[in-house]
Structure 1
Amino acid sequence: MKELWNFFSREQTDHQYNPTLWTRRLPTDDLLPNHIDITTKNSNAYRKKMGNHLQTIPFGNDEYLGEMDVFRPENVSENAPIVVYIHGGWWQWFSKEQFSFLAEPFNKKGMAVYMPGYRMAQDWSNDKPMESIVRQMEAAVATILQEAYDKNSQAVYLVGHSAGGHLVTMLHKTDWSKYNLPDEASNKIKSIFSLAGLFDIRFLLDSYVNDEIKMSLESAKTVSPQLLDNTKTALCPIHLILPEFDTAEFFRQTKEYQDKLLEEKQKCHLYVIQNRDHLTIIENMIQEKDELFGYILKHMSAKQ
């Protein structure tokens, strides 16, 4: 008997997990090129504007070694709240530089922004690339938490989109004690915002997404938040945010994951951003009075 995760045909899976097929604002073939053009142009402009206030620092060791960009303009104090942004691209496309423009709205509100990069799934020399990416992002956030502790920053917020939305959800479950952080550092994460993320990765096994990654069923289980028990009794609040025009499967997975967390007595909020699709949900964050940015700011300051 087939389980739900392998019930779809390859064609059905590719349709359900390809968000560019679910919006009509542009021809399908034009959506990604347009997205790349917009994000590249805006990111290059902001990186140039930042000048010497943009730093790139290392994190991790050995195969998990990586770099992150730190956006801390003059108006942002050393002990300011920190936003960690993890980019999407199905764990195999794009880079941190592609989304530098998203630092600007947070910087304008007096927050520092850290954007860690991760090695693409197809570039790992082991048979567990997905687990390795999660481990690399843990190393990045552990470095940030230590820095937040050292600088006396009062809060760290994790924000991720698509594949990054999946990664921040995995980080939500991380036991930070394995990184020898002070308890006060581990408790700096105050909220997590998963934008158009996925939570049961088994559904991608027979899809275009896995053609290059080649993850196994066992790996997919290991990196599926929907299948993992919490290692801590109380986690910080998590916000599962969807664009109105995302796919049916993204909606189903998100609602099921919220149900799981609520059953576990965790604080979990689901919110739908109106008139946005899988790409415009982040493209429009730099617009004045953007609904998503307003939601994030509201819940950064609220006691939840």
Structure 2
Amino acid sequence: MHEAWAAFTWEKTDEQYNPTLWTRRLPTEELLPAHVEITSGRSDTYRRKVSDGLQTVCFGKGDFVGSMDIFRPANVADNAPILVYIHGGWWQWFSKEQFSYLAEPFNKKGIAVYMPGYRMAQEWDSESPMESIVTQLQWAMVSVFKEAEKKGASKVYLMGHSAGGHLVAVLHQIDWRKFEVSNVTIKKLKGVFSLAGLFDIRPLVNSFVNDTIQFSMASAAKVSPQLLTVSERHSPCPLHLIVPEFDTPEFFRQTKEYQEKLLKADWPCHFILANNRDHLDLIERLSNDNDEVLEYILLNMN
């Protein structure tokens, strides 16, 4: 099948895969600095506020060791539902600490929030840095499953934004039995939320995203959920694809095509349009009281 993106010039690909060019609320050059200032400031404030309920633990083995922040303030029970959040940043920028503020609205509802960090793509001594990131996050999820067993949590949820939205989609496809997670524990995973994610990474090989990472078309295909074989033996939880109104046409195309793929395989998958939102304020506004996207996520965590 001919892929339309294969005919894009480098400039066209950059245009279609750079969401900051499509926003309407700030000049492009001001968007990322403002985003960093907003998210970092809120996160520093919340980390201080909840310091007694914040713990950092290690997970993984060997090259895949990582650290994970656990937000469990006094109002969150030991056996509370668990939300795992994976941050974005084109697999090469940002950190878990920058998005700590996103734990607050869920902590308020009595939900424990686990935020695993991962090594940036350019830090891996590997020809397939994206696969290494996925492997590291597999270790993180196995650690979370063990925590859910230990604490008696009945529900686990997974959420990610942008590059994190891609990563949670990959994790959604994994049959966790391969990692010696019991069927009972696997069933604790009740929902996955991909916010402004991508599902075919190949177009990014010839784009600004790959200036630093230098991944190949072959390695991109191996971590593209759109190209992975859907297992008929795997009974997945629902996947919620949340797309901001002012994201790019390619983000919309990829999301709709991925939903179509999963629905054809009889996997539960929902498409949600976040009105009057762009790629970045989709999560900037997520901590606001009565936010529509937050309300949707919480409603589907019941």
Stretches of structure 1 that go unaligned for 5 or more consecutive residues are none
> Which residue does the alignment assign to 2:192?
192
Does the Cα contact within 8 Å between 1:149 and 1:184 map onto a contact in 2? no
SS at structure 2 position matched to 1:88: coil
> Which residue does the alignment assign to 2:299?
298
Cα displacement string for residues 238-277 of structure 1 (whole angstroms, at most 9, x for unaligned residues): 0000011111100000000000000001100000011110
Cα displacement string for residues 17-61 of structure 1 (whole angstroms, at most 9, x for unaligned residues): 000000121111000000000000000000000112100000000
**For the residues of structure 2 that align with 1:157 and 1:196, how far apart are their CA atoms?**
17
SS at structure 1 position matched to 2:297: helix
**For the residues of structure 2 that align with 1:233 and 1:78, how far apart are their CA atoms?**
29
Does the Cα contact within 8 Å between 1:157 and 1:189 map onto a contact in 2? yes
> Which residue does the alignment assign to 1:260?
261
Give the C-alpha shift of residue 2 in structure 1.
Answer: 6.2
Q: How does 1:271-282 map to 2 (within 5 A)?
A: 271-282=272-283
- Following TM superposition, the consecutive aligned residue runs of length 4 or more in structure 1 with deviations greater than 3 angstroms are none
Task: Determine whether 1:216 maps to 2:223.
Answer: no
- Give, as a single letter, the amino acid of the residue that structure 1 aligns with 2:299: K
**For the residues of structure 1 that align with 2:161 and 2:53, how far apart are their CA atoms?**
25
> Which residue does the alignment assign to 2:130?
130
Give the C-alpha shift of residue 234 in structure 1.
Answer: 2.2
SS at structure 2 position matched to 1:174: coil
**For the residues of structure 2 that align with 1:258 and 1:179, how far apart are their CA atoms?**
26
**For the residues of structure 2 that align with 1:181 and 1:274, how far apart are their CA atoms?**
38
Give the C-alpha shift of residue 3 in structure 1.
Answer: 3.6
Give the C-alpha shift of residue 229 in structure 1.
Answer: 1.2
**For the residues of structure 2 that align with 1:2 and 1:104, how far apart are their CA atoms?**
45
Give the C-alpha shift of residue 178 in structure 1.
Answer: 2.3
- Give, as a single letter, the amino acid of the residue that structure 1 aligns with 2:75: N
- Give, as a single letter, the amino acid of the residue that structure 2 aligns with 1:148: A
SS at structure 2 position matched to 1:191: strand
Does the Cα contact within 8 Å between 1:39 and 1:98 map onto a contact in 2? yes
> Which residue does the alignment assign to 1:229?
229
**For the residues of structure 2 that align with 1:210 and 1:66, how far apart are their CA atoms?**
24
> Which residue does the alignment assign to 2:66?
66
Give the C-alpha shift of residue 224 in structure 1.
Answer: 0.4
**For the residues of structure 1 that align with 2:278 and 2:74, how far apart are their CA atoms?**
34
Does the Cα contact within 8 Å between 1:86 and 1:96 map onto a contact in 2? yes
Give the C-alpha shift of residue 194 in structure 1.
Answer: 0.2
> Which residue does the alignment assign to 1:29?
29
**For the residues of structure 2 that align with 1:96 and 1:81, how far apart are their CA atoms?**
20
Does the Cα contact within 8 Å between 2:192 and 2:240 map onto a contact in 1? yes
SS at structure 2 position matched to 1:300: coil
- Give, as a single letter, the amino acid of the residue that structure 2 aligns with 1:15: E
SS at structure 1 position matched to 2:211: helix
Give the C-alpha shift of residue 233 in structure 1.
Answer: 3.7
**For the residues of structure 2 that align with 1:264 and 1:2, how far apart are their CA atoms?**
22
Identity among equivalent positions (%) equals 59
**For the residues of structure 2 that align with 1:134 and 1:117, how far apart are their CA atoms?**
12
- Give, as a single letter, the amino acid of the residue that structure 1 aligns with 2:118: Y
**TM-score between the two structures when normalised by the length of structure 2:** 0.98
Q: How does 1:38-117 map to 2 (within 5 A)?
A: 38-117=38-117
Task: Determine whether 1:4 maps to 2:4.
Answer: yes
- Give, as a single letter, the amino acid of the residue that structure 1 aligns with 2:145: L
- Give, as a single letter, the amino acid of the residue that structure 1 aligns with 2:206: D
Does the Cα contact within 8 Å between 1:5 and 1:202 map onto a contact in 2? no
Stretch moving more, 174-183 or 12-21: 174-183
Give the C-alpha shift of residue 100 in structure 1.
Answer: 0.1
Does the Cα contact within 8 Å between 2:5 and 2:13 map onto a contact in 1? no
Cα displacement string for residues 40-94 of structure 1 (whole angstroms, at most 9, x for unaligned residues): 0000000000112100000000010000000000000000000000000000000
> Which residue does the alignment assign to 1:164?
164
Cα displacement string for residues 128-150 of structure 1 (whole angstroms, at most 9, x for unaligned residues): 10000001111101100111011
